[in-house]
Amino acid sequence: MRLLLVEDDALLVKNLKAALCADGYVVDTADNGIEGEYLGAVEPYDLVILDLGLPQRPGLEVLQNWRKSGLKMPVLVLTGRDQWHEKVDGFKAGADDYLGKPFHIEELMQRIKALIRRSHDVHEVEIKTSGLVLDEERQQVRLADGRDVALTGTEFRLLRYFMLHPGRILSKTRLTEHVYDMDFDRDSNVMEVYVRRLRDKIGKGMIQTRRGQGYVFGGDD
């Protein structure tokens, strides 16, 4: 899952980025409204965390511009303390959720997970598909035979993306975009290596290769 964090408070960005990365998210950041709006428009984010009080362009305007141009990614808005009218304005502009500052990082984490599940029509707490159950807290997967298998950070990010898109052809480029941040060398073949390792853990048949197109995960529930 690839997230965009648009926030100008450098300390908050540092803490949030560390917590999000530890939970297996790839995070790009912008510290002003203009750069944030640009990144949100050109990169395929699974979710955006958007502060409303931003330099150069207010967060509300950024959000309105995204929605006007048809961008539908879930957006969680961060508002100042007791700024109830900001929350109302945020929802009107197309926010999916909000959190008032100061907040506990754990609450933000749970809201992000809920928003991502909702945006994929997953309404249970665990992600279950094709006989697998993904444990997001422990970053491990339960196989159909009941065995729990530990995953590395990259394997976890990759499997979560597969499990949220079962039966769909996912190109290597798309997988790379959602599993690594902007600085990653996207031309490399490491995605094939990670898919192979994942197959060794969850079963060869779980991920099909479509020559020239990419990979398809599971499919029959």
Query: What does the binding site for Ca ion look like in residue numbers (CB under 5 A)?
Result: 8, 51, 53
Residues 6+ apart with CB under 8 A from 89: 60
Minimum CB–partner distance for residue 77 and Ca ion (Å): 12
Minimum CB–partner distance for residue 51 and Ca ion (Å): 4
Smaller CB distance to Ca ion: residue 51 or 86?
Answer: 51
The rounded distance, in Å, linking the Cα atoms of 97 and 178 is: 22
Minimum CB–partner distance for residue 62 and Ca ion (Å): 12
Beta carbons within 10 angstroms of residue 38's beta carbon: 12
Smaller CB distance to Ca ion: residue 79 or 139?
Answer: 79
78: left (phi over 0), alpha (psi -120 to 50) or beta: beta
Contact of 2 with 25, CB cutoff 8 Å: yes
Minimum CB–partner distance for residue 84 and Ca ion (Å): 17
Minimum CB–partner distance for residue 78 and Ca ion (Å): 8
Smaller CB distance to Ca ion: residue 8 or 136?
Answer: 8
The residue nearest Ca ion at its CB is: 53
Smaller CB distance to Ca ion: residue 108 or 116?
Answer: 108
Smaller CB distance to Ca ion: residue 9 or 181?
Answer: 9
